[in-house]
């Protein structure tokens, strides 16, 4: 049995991906801040789960999370760094506190989870595993009023590349999935209208979140001598190609 750990598993892309991995035969460690939402995901899972409420921006909590995973399952085959946060508003109005909260979750949290996964994957037998980072379309192009989110998602690409490079020696593969306009609770406003690069306000097409979950399962299922380094999964007609 393979073991996957999914952050942000209480809703949206995290929940859909965790359930798809469960259907594919993985035991899944469900991570998020709200235990009640994680329990809902666990109740819908097809196989074994471990619910772990944690703040991934807190080093001690992340260390405890991976220790619990090792104690329960003895190994980790997949980490999906999915949890994310945003802070809207104009750049000149963004507070330092709001900036730091986004950086703490999106970048520092992904680093802390990656570091602990690396330590575990290096030491386990058989050695190795896979890490998938949720980069987002914003790893390529910004939306208006998203400076903190966009900056961290660009940084995730650097984390992906560095992890992929350093992981070669230990059979640890790392890739990135860049997602655009998956239909979740967080993207409901897009169907009504969101700011565009030209200053207008317009609705945007959405895609079924299942397309993302299926892509994650595909990336996860590759043998460790093969890797999807970067994958973009997006609503076909969303304003990404040509954005700006």
Residues forming the active site: 149
For 64-129, give the DSSP string.
HHHHHHHHHHS---EEEE-------S-GGG--HHHHHHHHIIIIIIHHHHHHHHHHHHHHSSS--E
Contacts of 19 (CB under 8 A, 6+ apart): 41, 44, 45, 46, 213
Q: What sign does the CA torsion over 166, 30, 36, 208 have?
A: positive
The residue assigned the tokens 């399952």 is 73
* DSSP designation for 190: G
Q: Which two tokens stand for residue 70?
A: 């090792």
The residue assigned the tokens 């590759």 is 222
State the chain's maximal CA–CA distance in angstroms. 55
CA neighbours closer than 13 Å in the CB half-sphere of residue 121? 29
Cα-based angle 47, 4, 44 (whole degrees, multiple of 5): 35
The residue assigned the tokens 């999106």 is 106
- CA dist., res. 133 & res. 152, Å (int): 12
């Amino acid at each position: 049995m393979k073991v996957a750990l999914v952050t942000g598993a209480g809703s949206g892309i995290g929940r859909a991906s965790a359930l798809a991995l469960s259907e594919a035969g993985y035991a899944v460690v469900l991570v998020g801040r709200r235990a009640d939402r994680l329990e809902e995901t666990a109740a819908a899972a097809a196989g074994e789960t471990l619910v772990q409420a944690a703040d991934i921006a807190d080093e001690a909590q992340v260390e405890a999370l991976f220790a619990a995973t090792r104690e329960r399952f003895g190994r980790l085959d997949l980490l999906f760094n999915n949890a994310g946060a945003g802070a809207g508003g104009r750049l000149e109005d963004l507070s330092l506190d709001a900036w730091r909260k986004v950086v703490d979750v999106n970048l520092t949290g992904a680093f802390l989870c990656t570091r602990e996964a690396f330590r575990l994957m290096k030491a386990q037998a058989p050695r190795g595993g896979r890490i998938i980072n949720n980069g987002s379309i914003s790893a390529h192009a910004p939306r208006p009023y998203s400076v903190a989110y966009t900056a961290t998602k660009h940084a995730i690409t650097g984390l992906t590349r560095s992890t992929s490079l350093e992981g070669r020696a230990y059979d640890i593969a790392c890739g990135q999935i860049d997602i655009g306009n998956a239909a979740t609770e967080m993207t409901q406003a897009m169907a009504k209208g969101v700011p565009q690069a030209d200053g207008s306000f317009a609705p945007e097409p959405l895609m079924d979140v299942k397309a993302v979950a299926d892509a994650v399962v595909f990336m996860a299922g590759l043998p460790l001598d093969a890797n999807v380094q970067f994958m973009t999964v997006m609503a076909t007609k969303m304003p990404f190609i040509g954005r700006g």
